[in-house]
Amino acid sequence: MSSPVLSVHGICSGYGGGNILRDISLDLEAGEILTVLGKNGMGKSTLVKTIMGFVKPNSGRIALHGDDITSAEPHKIARRSIAYTPQEFAIFRELTVQENLRLGVGNDDLLKQRLGDVEAAFPRMIERLSQRAGTLSGGEQKMLLLCRAIVSRPQIMLIDEISEGLQPTMVERMAEILRKARDRGVGILLIEQNLDFALSVADRYAVIQIGEIVESGRVASTETAAQLEKHLRI
Ligand SMILES: Nc1ncnc2c1ncn2[C@@H]1O[C@H](COP(=O)(O)OP(=O)(O)OP(=O)(O)O)[C@@H](O)[C@H]1O
């Protein structure tokens, strides 16, 4: 087997010295989607924030492409071909769509070369390039987040609840975009509560309950959905 693009080993992490995550370990390979499932407040966002360096782990090790990045600064981690789409609407509302997309690549020339990636993912975004991002619909803002990640042509994507509040056709479009990225070899860590969406794209799953992984495996059949649903019920 190839070595993982992202490796999380024995991570304990939280806020103010306490631990929300306890002994979390997972590996992500190139060209696969691993979904991390769990109810509200179980620690899913804390996990991606810890990987990105926004929350410092109290113990454990995180490696990107085999290099230790535990406790590295977020801007240094972000330079390592990893794209993070946070759960919060992390777009710059006063900037245009194009200016938001530029943040994914660094300059306009490169963005121009890669606008085809945006058009292939979500043609409507091209029509909106000069529009202020804050005036996009909620669904379009989520699409912009995903497009910004895509134009950076990352090897790893960390995606936190992108499907939340979206209509089914938009969710299906997101699923297609993620499958295409996976088929190009991107390793995707997909944080989700939408079980149908997550299992329609993921190759593997892990369930977080109160900061611990309580179940994990391959996404195989409808049996998996039935088996996992209990973890997501309120
Ligand atoms: N900045 C913070 N300071 C203190 N506690 C926090 C902070 N952010 C999150 N928490 C707590 O950590 C726990 C896990 O939160 P986290 O956001 O990781 O959960 P989640 O599984 O992503 O849930 P959701 O789906 O609701 O976003 C919660 O109890 C939350 O209140």
Residues 74 and 116 in one domain: no
The answer to whether 51 and 64 are in contact (CB under 8 A) is: no
Residues 142 and 109 in one domain: yes
Residues 148 and 188 in one domain: no
The answer to whether position 96 is within a domain reads: yes
Distance of CA 47 from the midpoint of ligand 1 (Å): 10
Neighbours of 210 (CB within 10 A): 13
Mean pLDDT per 10-residue interval, the chain, length 234 residues: 89 93 97 95 94 95 95 89 86 94 89 93 93 93 93 95 90 94 97 93 95 92 78 72
**Which domain does 220 fall in, by range?**
6-81+154-232
Residues 68 and 120 in one domain: no
Residue finishing a domain among 152, 169, 195: 152
ipTM score of the complex?
A: 0.95
Q: Is 20 in the pocket of ligand 1 (CB under 6 A)?
A: yes
Residues 33 and 123 in one domain: no
Q: Can you tell me the distance from the alpha carbon of 96 to that of 109, in angstroms, rounded to the nearest whole number?
A: 16
Rounded to two decimals, the pTM is 0.93
Residues 107 and 41 in one domain: no
Residues 124 and 160 in one domain: no
pLDDT of residue 223: 72
- Choose which residue among 11, 12, 13, 15 to substitute to test ligand 1 binding: the one with the highest number of ligand atoms within 8 A of its C-beta: 15
Distance of CA 232 from the midpoint of ligand 1 (Å): 16
Residue finishing a domain among 130, 152, 174: 152
Q: Is 210 in the pocket of ligand 1 (CB under 6 A)?
A: no
Residues 75 and 158 in one domain: yes
Residues 69 and 173 in one domain: yes
Phi, psi of 169 (to 5 degrees): -65, -35
Q: Can you tell me the distance from the alpha carbon of 114 to that of 91, in angstroms, rounded to the nearest whole number?
A: 19
According to DSSP, the residues that pair with 189 across neighbouring strands are 34, 158
Count of domains for the chain = 2
The answer to whether position 51 is within a domain reads: yes
pLDDT of residue 234: 63
Q: Can you tell me the distance from the alpha carbon of 63 to that of 5, in angstroms, rounded to the nearest whole number?
A: 8
Residue finishing a domain among 113, 131, 152: 152
